[in-house]
Structure 1
Amino acid sequence: MSSAPPPPGLDPERLRALLDRERPGLVRGTLDARLVEGGRSNLTYVVTDGAGRWVVRRPPLGHVLATAHDMKREYRVISALHPTAVPVPRPVLLCEDESVLGAPFYVMEFVPGTPYRTAEQLAPLGPERTRGAVLGLVDTLVDLHAVDPAAVGLDDFGRPEGFLDRQVRRWGKQLAASRGRELPGIDALHSALGRRLPDSPAPTVVHGDYRLDNALIGADDRITAVLDWEMSTLGDPLTDLGLLVMYSTELCVPDSPVSTTAAAAGHPSPAELIERYAARSGRDVSSLAWYTAFAWFKLAVILEGIHYRYTLGQTVGAGFDRIGELVPVFIEHGLTTLQEG
């Protein structure tokens, strides 16, 4: 076992005591824990007793109250989806007692697999395996959207009525809260999205941030688990597809600090992803340009927020100095996508 100090936010002895009480026999030795780097919101740890491995998710340090609900939502959705065709980790325990780790948290099984974040990481797979992995991501999305929310106890998991209108308004407010410069075209994009709201299909469980690096790919190139359900709700399923299509479009920005996997050899084109989803789900995707344009707008707002915090000296690290130059690229993609649709 490691002699390294435990990571901030997780006391292995307290966690062991809880698991021994609530899940006797699960843990057989001293627990070691490590923080998984790369998460942007809630914290993720891998814990092991030398034989078994589990994952712990908790809110960021110092932000307990604002995000406490997220833990319960995440745990609820993976618990509901685990018996379905959607691959999610097996839930182990939800703890809302803040005296254990200082915040609500949950434990789930560790699932082996690789999250592919860049085209460079996909390169060793080769074109055929890359294509299969990405198409598998579409098939899994179809499986998710085929789940009957009422049948798995998620019929009250969100407010699907007026979902798209609320989304457009919400991200407009986010933009206003982090606006420190002129951004040509972004108001026109926001207004056009609001004017041209499509009619939503029947609501489903939506992931909210569906992309390749929020899924684990196993050794056989199949998806072993879909992760990061903190933005999941009941809503318009095509918002998930629009986001996936956006992340499957090449940015054509040299050395971009925000990367997509689209440039990987063998990666299916956005049109192929849309066609496969339509064929397998039976849904009308004729309005998908709107959903993809909305995804470009949403990411432009997120990136502008990061840029705004960087200009205030609140964000440090490699690449943040170049985030701002990407925002106009995302705006332009959004406007072009909406016009072409």
Structure 2
Amino acid sequence: MTTEMTQASTKQRNRTAFDNQAAAAKATSVEFDPATIERFLLAQKDINGVNGIRDLAKPSGAGASNGILFFTADLDNGSQTTTSELVLRYETDTPLIKQKRFDDEFQTIIAVNNAGLPAPVARWHDFTGDFFGRPSYITNRVHGQCPPSSIYAEGILQDADPATRKSMMLAVADYHGRLHAANIGPDQVPHLTRRGTGPTAIERELSWWFKEASLASPTPDKMEFLRRAHDRLIAVQPDPYTARLVHGDAQFANCMFDGPQVSAVLDWELSFLGHNESDLALLVLFADALNPVDEPVDGVPSEQEFIAAYEACAGRPIAAWEFFQAFNLVKVTTAMVFGAATMPGADELFTHYGALLTDAIDRIPR
């Protein structure tokens, strides 16, 4: 088999694996009735009455780590009744991410709201599951469209003309540059200081992912591969510099678009205190990894175009680019371990991304 044929086969698996994973997660999601939602809302201090819960619906597309339910509520705040379109996010019966904390994600969204960056507005929470029987929280619903995980196969990026597609993809790099410039640090997201262990932000984040892999009980050879990659990255990490809020799962599928603009970035459960080059490197990785070899999609920004857009909004040049490319590949490779139960082809993708990871570590300047 030629290298080009191998690349095409791997990219096809990439395009289907993430969407299949989301579909599998939704197949095991639970049902909620309007009465349960109403009881929860009536327990909130800023709600005097609930005059109706309707339009319950589960979205299609992305969303492998949370259960998601859309609904509309007529809420009485004591002076008037308003209609609110809302989203309930809740833990599934078989959580994909074992260390996920709904309270952390909720508090992170509040920090992003306070910084003025487009994200769902956090409203209420049930972290202990007293009402919904599982950790959950509610946000305002943001209108727009999200690409599927297989961004070039269907959906808004596939449907866009090349110039619009490029503009939309660069708008995501802009967002992550703005997130860097917002300088959301430990004072704004103190809950993230307990994520992982180690003396540096990079070591803490790598330790979190290594633990997540171990919780999935992988085969010894996979765990040993990840341990070696973990140790090699720590040995060549850049000198410490200011750690800021990083989204942590900067896929295009986690972006809501209103026309060509980003109206919100979703799914903050993998956020950490670290370096925003990591988000940018993941965007570049998926922009390439999902693009078919046999019929490349026009209008996909180059690596340098992504970097230039990010830097313009971040207000400073990127740092340690080769390191963060490898840093993201160890995460993607690890995800093939803990996502294996719901991701067809995960073993082959582990081998593929593991090879890319080894090469990327070798390219890091010493």
Q: TM-score range by the shorter chain?
A: 0.7 to 0.9
Secondary structure (helix, strand or coil) at the match of 2:87 reads strand
How far, CA to CA, are the matches of 1:26 and 1:269 in structure 2?
A: 52
Shift of 1:149: 3.0
Which runs of structure 2 are paired with 1:107-126 in the superposition (5 Å)? Answer: 107-116=138-147, 117=149, 118-121=151-154, 122-126=157-161
- Choose from 23, 26, 37 the match for 1:15: 37
What's the TM-score once normalised by structure 2's chain length?
A: 0.74
Shift of 1:53: 1.9
How far, CA to CA, are the matches of 1:209 and 1:84 in structure 2?
A: 19
Secondary structure (helix, strand or coil) at the match of 1:157 reads helix
- Choose from 26, 29, 34 the match for 2:57: 34
Alignment deviations for residues 4-52 of structure 1 (CA, whole Å, 9 cap, x no partner): xxx7242321212332452437854233422334422221111125964
The yes-or-no answer on 1:323 pairing with 2:346 is yes
Q: Is the 8 A contact 2:186 2:273 kept in 1?
A: no
What's the TM-score once normalised by structure 1's chain length?
A: 0.79
**CA 1:24–1:168 in 2, change beyond 3 Å: closer, same or farther?**
closer
How far, CA to CA, are the matches of 2:188 and 2:211 in structure 1?
A: 32
Secondary structure (helix, strand or coil) at the match of 2:89 reads strand
* Map of 1:196 onto structure 2: 236
* Map of 2:268 onto structure 1: 229
Shift of 1:93: 1.4
* Map of 1:207 onto structure 2: 247
Gapped runs of 5+ residues in structure 2? 1-28, 75-82
**CA 1:231–1:170 in 2, change beyond 3 Å: closer, same or farther?**
closer
Which moves more between the two structures, 201-210 or 243-252?
Answer: 243-252
The yes-or-no answer on 1:127 pairing with 2:167 is no
Secondary structure (helix, strand or coil) at the match of 2:139 reads strand
Secondary structure (helix, strand or coil) at the match of 2:57 reads strand
Alignment deviations for residues 92-151 of structure 1 (CA, whole Å, 9 cap, x no partner): 212345331112321111111111132122221111111111111111111112223369
Shift of 1:298: 1.6
Shift of 1:80: 2.2
Q: Is the 8 A contact 1:9 1:102 kept in 2?
A: no
Q: Which amino acid aligns with 2:153?
A: E
CA RMSD of aligned residues (A): 3.2
The yes-or-no answer on 1:48 pairing with 2:72 is yes
**CA 1:92–1:167 in 2, change beyond 3 Å: closer, same or farther?**
closer
Q: Is the 8 A contact 2:330 2:354 kept in 1?
A: yes
How far, CA to CA, are the matches of 1:26 and 1:277 in structure 2?
A: 45
**CA 1:74–1:335 in 2, change beyond 3 Å: closer, same or farther?**
same
How far, CA to CA, are the matches of 2:289 and 2:65 in structure 1?
A: 25
Shift of 1:330: 1.0
The yes-or-no answer on 1:273 pairing with 2:306 is yes
Q: Is the 8 A contact 1:179 1:305 kept in 2?
A: no
* Map of 1:168 onto structure 2: 206
**CA 1:82–1:186 in 2, change beyond 3 Å: closer, same or farther?**
closer
Gapped runs of 5+ residues in structure 1? 1-6, 256-261, 310-314
* Map of 2:283 onto structure 1: 244
Q: Is the 8 A contact 2:66 2:89 kept in 1?
A: yes
**CA 1:199–1:279 in 2, change beyond 3 Å: closer, same or farther?**
farther
How far, CA to CA, are the matches of 1:130 and 1:141 in structure 2?
A: 18
How far, CA to CA, are the matches of 1:335 and 1:191 in structure 2?
A: 12
Larger RCO, structure (CA 8 Å, separation 6 or more): 2
